[in-house]
Amino acid sequence: MQGISLGTAPSRRRLVKARSKFIIGALIVGSTSGYLAMTSIKDTAQYYLTPTDLAAKVQNEPRFIDKGVKVGALVVKGTINRDPSGRSLSFKMTDGGHTYPVSYVGIAPDTFTDGVEVVVEGKLDSQGTFHATTLLAKCSSRYENAPEKTMPGYDNYKNTPGYKNSPTRGA
């Protein structure tokens, strides 16, 4: 009866060998795909700077001029100048601490107006003008309830753009 078990020892070795190969292969595939995922995230994850952050980077590292960057800021009211053709525009952006003039060639989004939050992608030149290749405007379609008449700030709310005096409220 013990002679029957002689054939099982080599097959166990083959089984262990096959399992080891599978585990090693799975580790190689898993680690390679993990490495590729991490490097692609690092390369494509691009956060935007504020104008103050951009000014600090340029001051600390002058080589930063003419490098691609994303900047998030507010459009300064009254600074939008549109080309009559509608294909280019210029404006100023600020975060309250630093202001940059921006030039953009392309069609502006419908939501692009004075005071709107924008994210621009492009390069800062040596004269301090930001040349945007991409212009994104934040959509201000977030719903907010109007303050009650008895709450502080109600009078200021009536002066906001888009306020429309309705004949009855809540009736």
What pLDDT, on the 0 to 100 scale, is given for residue 142? 55
For the chain, percent of residues with pLDDT exceeding 70: 70
Average pLDDT over residues 7-33: 80
Residue 122 to residue 70: CA distance in whole angstroms: 7
pLDDT tens-digit readout, 53-109? 999 989 998 887 888 899 999 999 999 999 888 889 999 999 999 999 999 999 888
Residue 165 to residue 146: CA distance in whole angstroms: 11
Instruction: Compute the Cα dihedral for 69, 74, 79, 84 and give only its sign.
Output: positive
What pLDDT, on the 0 to 100 scale, is given for residue 132? 95
